Structure 1
Amino acid sequence: MSAVKSKRMPRAVREQQMMDAAVRTFAQRGYRAASMDEIAELAGVSKPLVYLYLNSKEELFTACIRRESKALVEAVQAGVEPGIPADRQLWSGLRAFFTHTAENPDGWAVLHQQASSHGEPFVSEVGALREEIVAFVTGLIGAAAREAHRDRALPDRDVAGLAQALVGAAEALAGWANVTPGVSAKEAATTLMNFSWAGLENLMHGRGWQSRGD
């Protein structure tokens, strides 16, 4: 009697399993200290199989960055409902960002800590993610300015600068929230809205801060 053979796991599923293990290992051990042996053991596969599917440690780390970047961008974009008031769009985008980073702390650690601190080509990969997020936020701020001024909008340079500042603040706040017990995604989003929206609203109504005597 022939033995019943179990179905082979599809390649895409096996790759996701190895990527999940890699993200967890890179986040908790760091890129330099993480080993392919650890990743293979956590994934429940042999080390040669990891190399067969993902070639090298550098390529595996790059693949992790790209996967986590794509997931973050998609989460933020999906969180913003078109057609609602500008402040609600920004709020929902921020809440989606902080919800995703809180629910995926290992992925965020790979992007925000590991990839940014180990040089090329990883820095460029994270830079591409940041540019995509900044472009999306720039669109939200520009739309808010047009909503506030039917006949006038903020200069493009101001909008671009505000988007860079807001994304930088969100990155720093997510890193803090993920290691501070009791800080929810809603609380983090509210903190950043309180910090940013009053200033944005003043700018959109022509009430920008002016230096005196400098």
Structure 2
Amino acid sequence: MREQQMLDAAVRTFGRRGYMAASMDEIAELAGVSKPLVYLYLNSKEDLFTACIRREADALTRAVRAGVRPDLPADRRLWDGLLAFFAHTGEHPDAWSVLHLQARTHGEPFAAEVAAMRTEIVAFVTGLVVVAAREAHSDPDLPEDEVAGLAEALVGAAESLAAWANATPGVTARQAAATLMNFAWAGLGDLMRGNRWTPPPEAPQGRGEPRA
């Protein structure tokens, strides 16, 4: 109980002030405990920050997974997953700041902790998309690498949109999810029906195209 109280205070402080500016004195005061007690439970500022990243990464991945019902159609599963993601990041903006901004900009091992979370989410989204694609193509053997890039792009867009939504007053989780769904699903729907966009042929070098 007391450790969670300290982690709550640390997430709030790291999320609002940044890792470098946050102090153990400030975190202890916000948690209502002594600084020696914080060190007793969590050893160092680095260990405290790592504990915050792990707790919040786990909470986010569990929220996204819990939001998706596997018995629903593909578009509804993706919608529910996006809605769960934006609802969680919107309700916990300090935690999202820790995961999306602070942990990524202060080197290893913090960035590796977030990368592991992101890999798990991308794998989950890949599963959602590949099942839908296999159903649309009536091809149960469609390989995951056919849609893995789409999942990667979708997660990247969701991360950027969550940061924007949290910084923009009045944007709700439903609005953010609908924005990304409208952007992504039309393209995914066409792709699943076999309607692919084809890039123009490469122009010969020296005819207006930049060299690689």
TM-score of the aligned structures, taking structure 2 as reference length: 0.93
Q: Which residue, 115, 118, 138 being the options, matches 2:106?
A: 118
Taking the TM superposition and a 5 Å limit, the aligned residue runs for 1:141-156 are 141-151=129-139, 154-156=142-144
Structure 2 unaligned residues grouped into runs of 5+: 203-212
Structure 1 unaligned residues grouped into runs of 5+: 1-12
Taking the TM superposition and a 5 Å limit, the aligned residue runs for 1:69-84 are 69-84=57-72
Taking the TM superposition and a 5 Å limit, the aligned residue runs for 1:1-214 are 13-151=1-139, 154-214=142-202
My pick for the range that moved more, 152-161 or 203-212, is 152-161
CA contact (8 A) 2:134 2:141 kept: yes
**Structure 1 residues 3-29: Cα deviation after superposition (integer angstroms, max 9, x where no partner):** xxxxxxxxxx00000000000000111
**Structure 1 residues 55-106: Cα deviation after superposition (integer angstroms, max 9, x where no partner):** 0000000000000000000000000011110000000000000000000000
Cα offset, 1:154, TM superposition: 5.0
Q: Report SS of the residue matched to 2:87.
A: helix
Identity of aligned residues (%): 71
Q: Report SS of the residue matched to 2:171.
A: coil
Q: Report SS of the residue matched to 1:82.
A: coil
Cα offset, 1:200, TM superposition: 0.7
Aligned equivalents of 1:158, 1:110: Cα separation in 2? 32
CA contact (8 A) 1:36 1:47 kept: yes
My pick for the range that moved more, 203-212 or 145-154, is 145-154
Aligned equivalents of 1:167, 1:53: Cα separation in 2? 34
Letter in 2 for 1:128: A
CA contact (8 A) 1:18 1:50 kept: yes
Q: Report SS of the residue matched to 1:32.
A: coil
Cα offset, 1:158, TM superposition: 2.8
**Structure 1 residues 167-189: Cα deviation after superposition (integer angstroms, max 9, x where no partner):** 00000000000000111000000
CA contact (8 A) 1:134 1:167 kept: yes
Cα offset, 1:149, TM superposition: 1.6
**Structure 1 residues 84-134: Cα deviation after superposition (integer angstroms, max 9, x where no partner):** 100000000000000000000000000001001100000000000000000
Give the alignment's Cα RMSD to 1 decimal.
1.0
Q: Report SS of the residue matched to 1:178.
A: helix
Q: Report how many residues are paired.
A: 202
Q: Report SS of the residue matched to 1:120.
A: coil
TM-score of the aligned structures, taking structure 1 as reference length: 0.92
CA contact (8 A) 1:27 1:107 kept: yes
- Could you list the structure 1 runs, at least 4 aligned residues long, displaced by more than 4 angstroms after superposition: 152-155
**Structure 1 residues 138-189: Cα deviation after superposition (integer angstroms, max 9, x where no partner):** 0000111122121366543231100100000000000000000111000000
Aligned equivalents of 2:141, 2:175: Cα separation in 1? 30
Q: Report SS of the residue matched to 2:147.
A: helix
